[in-house]
Chain A
Amino acid sequence: MNELSPPQSGGGRLAANVMHFARLLRRAGLPVGTPEILAAQRALGFIDLGAREEMRTALSATMVRRREQQEIFDRAFALFWRNPEALRQDAALGLLQAEKPKPERPMPGSRRLQEAFSPPRNRPPRGEEPPPRIDAALAASERERLQTLDFEAMSAAEIAAAKAEIRRLALPLDMRRTRRRRADPTGPEIDLAGTLRASLRQGGEILRLARRRRVTRAPPLVVICDISGSMARYAQILLHFVHAVVNLRERVHVFLFGTRLSNITRQLRHRDPEIAFQMVAHIVPDWSGGTRIGEALATFNHFWARRVLAQGAVVLLVSDGLDRDGAHGLAENMDRLHRSCRRLIWLNPLLRWEGFSPRSQGIRAMLPYVDEFRPVHNLESLRELVTLLSKPAPVARGGVAEEWRIAS
Chain B
Amino acid sequence: MKPASVSATSALLAEHDYLADRALATTVHLALCMQRPLFLEGEPGTGKTEIAKVLAAGLGRRLVRLQCYDGLDLAAAAYEWNHARQLMTIRLAEAAGETDRERLESDIYARPFLLERPLLSAIDPDQPPAVLLIDELDRADEPFEAFLLELLADFQITVPEFGTISAGTPPVVILTSNRTREVHDAIRRRCLYHWVDYPDGARERAILARKAPGVPERLSAEVVAFVQKLRGEDLFKLPGVAETIDWAGALHALDQRELNPELVDETLGVLLKYQDDIAKIRGAEAARLVAEAQEEAA
Asked whether, in the complex, the Cβ of B193 is within 8 Å of the Cβ of A64, the reply is yes
Asked whether, in the complex, the Cβ of A43 is within 8 Å of the Cβ of B34, the reply is yes
Asked whether, in the complex, the Cβ of A308 is within 8 Å of the Cβ of B181, the reply is yes
Q: Look across to chain A and name the residue whose beta carbon is closest to the beta carbon of B90.
A: A204
A180 touching B185 in the complex, CB below 8 Å, given contacts A39-B34, A196-B87, A204-B93:
no
Say yes or no for A53: interface residue by CB 8 A criterion.
yes
B168-196 CB contact bits vs A (8 Å, 1 = yes)? 00000000001111100100110011110
Q: Look across to chain B and name the residue whose beta carbon is closest to the beta carbon of A214.
A: B71
Asked whether, in the complex, the Cβ of B188 is within 8 Å of the Cβ of A65, the reply is yes
Asked whether, in the complex, the Cβ of A179 is within 8 Å of the Cβ of B36, the reply is no
Q: Which residues of A contact B33 (CB under 8 A)?
A: 43, 46
Q: Which of A62, A178, A180, A192 contacts B83 (CB 8 A)?
A: A192
Q: Which one of A224-232, A299-307, A348-356, A368-376 contacts B?
A: A299-307
Q: Which of B29, B71, B192, B195 contacts A178 (CB 8 A)?
A: B71
What is the interface residue range for chain B against chain A? 35 or more
A361-403 CB contact bits vs B (8 Å, 1 = yes)? 0000000000000000000000000000000000000000000
Q: Look across to chain B and name the residue whose beta carbon is closest to the beta carbon of A176.
A: B70
Say yes or no for B105: interface residue by CB 8 A criterion.
yes
Q: Which residues of B contact A56 (CB under 8 A)?
A: 23
A200 touching B105 in the complex, CB below 8 Å, given contacts A39-B34, A61-B26, A180-B73:
yes
Asked whether, in the complex, the Cβ of A46 is within 8 Å of the Cβ of B30, the reply is yes
Among A23-57, those with CB < 8 Å from B are: 35, 39, 42-43, 46-48, 51, 53-54, 56-57
The docked-state distance in angstroms from the alpha carbon of A277 to that of B180 is 27
Q: How many chain-A residues does the 8 Å CB contact rule pick out?
A: 42
A47 touching B26 in the complex, CB below 8 Å, given contacts A67-B41, A311-B141:
yes
Say yes or no for B143: interface residue by CB 8 A criterion.
yes
The docked-state distance in angstroms from the alpha carbon of A197 to that of B90 is 12
Asked whether, in the complex, the Cβ of A57 is within 8 Å of the Cβ of B22, the reply is yes
The docked-state distance in angstroms from the alpha carbon of A136 to that of B74 is 56
Q: Look across to chain A and name the residue whose beta carbon is closest to the beta carbon of B100.
A: A203
Say yes or no for A66: interface residue by CB 8 A criterion.
yes
Say yes or no for B104: interface residue by CB 8 A criterion.
yes
Asked whether, in the complex, the Cβ of A179 is within 8 Å of the Cβ of B73, the reply is yes
The docked-state distance in angstroms from the alpha carbon of A336 to that of B237 is 13
Asked whether, in the complex, the Cβ of B236 is within 8 Å of the Cβ of A302, the reply is yes
Q: Look across to chain A and name the residue whose beta carbon is closest to the beta carbon of B41.
A: A67
Q: Which of B34, B70, B81, B193 contacts A42 (CB 8 A)?
A: B34
Say yes or no for A95: interface residue by CB 8 A criterion.
no
A47 touching B189 in the complex, CB below 8 Å, given contacts A39-B36, A53-B23, A301-B236:
no
Q: Which residues of A contact B86 (CB under 8 A)?
A: 196
Say yes or no for B94: interface residue by CB 8 A criterion.
yes
* Nearest CB on A from B240, distance (A): 14
The docked-state distance in angstroms from the alpha carbon of A67 to that of B196 is 10
A35 touching B189 in the complex, CB below 8 Å, given contacts A58-B26, A178-B71, A179-B73:
yes
Say yes or no for B116: interface residue by CB 8 A criterion.
no
Most B CB contacts (10 A, CB to CB) among A65, A67, A199, A204 go to: A204
Asked whether, in the complex, the Cβ of B236 is within 8 Å of the Cβ of A61, the reply is no
* Nearest CB on A from B41, distance (A): 6
Say yes or no for A193: interface residue by CB 8 A criterion.
yes
* Nearest CB on B from A63, distance (A): 9
Say yes or no for B138: interface residue by CB 8 A criterion.
yes
Q: Which residues of A contact B22 (CB under 8 A)?
A: 53-54, 57
Q: Which residues of B contact A35 (CB under 8 A)?
A: 189
The docked-state distance in angstroms from the alpha carbon of A67 to that of B177 is 12
* Nearest CB on B from A337, distance (A): 12
Say yes or no for A310: interface residue by CB 8 A criterion.
yes
Q: Which residues of A contact B292 (CB under 8 A)?
A: none
Asked whether, in the complex, the Cβ of B6 is within 8 Å of the Cβ of A310, the reply is no
Most B CB contacts (10 A, CB to CB) among A39, A57, A67, A307 go to: A57
Q: Which residues of B contact A51 (CB under 8 A)?
A: 6
Say yes or no for A70: interface residue by CB 8 A criterion.
yes
A46 touching B180 in the complex, CB below 8 Å, given contacts A53-B23, A54-B22, A200-B105:
no
Q: Which residues of A contact B236 (CB under 8 A)?
A: 301-302, 336
Among A222-246, those with CB < 8 Å from B are: none
Q: Which residues of A contact B72 (CB under 8 A)?
A: 179
* Nearest CB on A from B148, distance (A): 16
Cross-chain pairs A/B with CB under 8 angstroms, 11 sampled: A43-B30, A46-B29, A46-B34, A47-B6, A61-B27, A61-B193, A65-B193, A178-B70, A178-B141, A180-B143, A310-B180
Further 14 A-B residue pairs, CB within 8 A, beyond A65-B189, A179-B70: A46-B33, A47-B5, A54-B6, A56-B23, A61-B27, A64-B193, A67-B41, A178-B70, A178-B71, A200-B104, A200-B108, A203-B99, A307-B182, A336-B276
Closest A-B pairs by Cβ, 9 of them? A179-B71, A57-B26, A310-B180, A46-B33, A65-B188, A61-B192, A204-B90, A57-B23, A192-B83
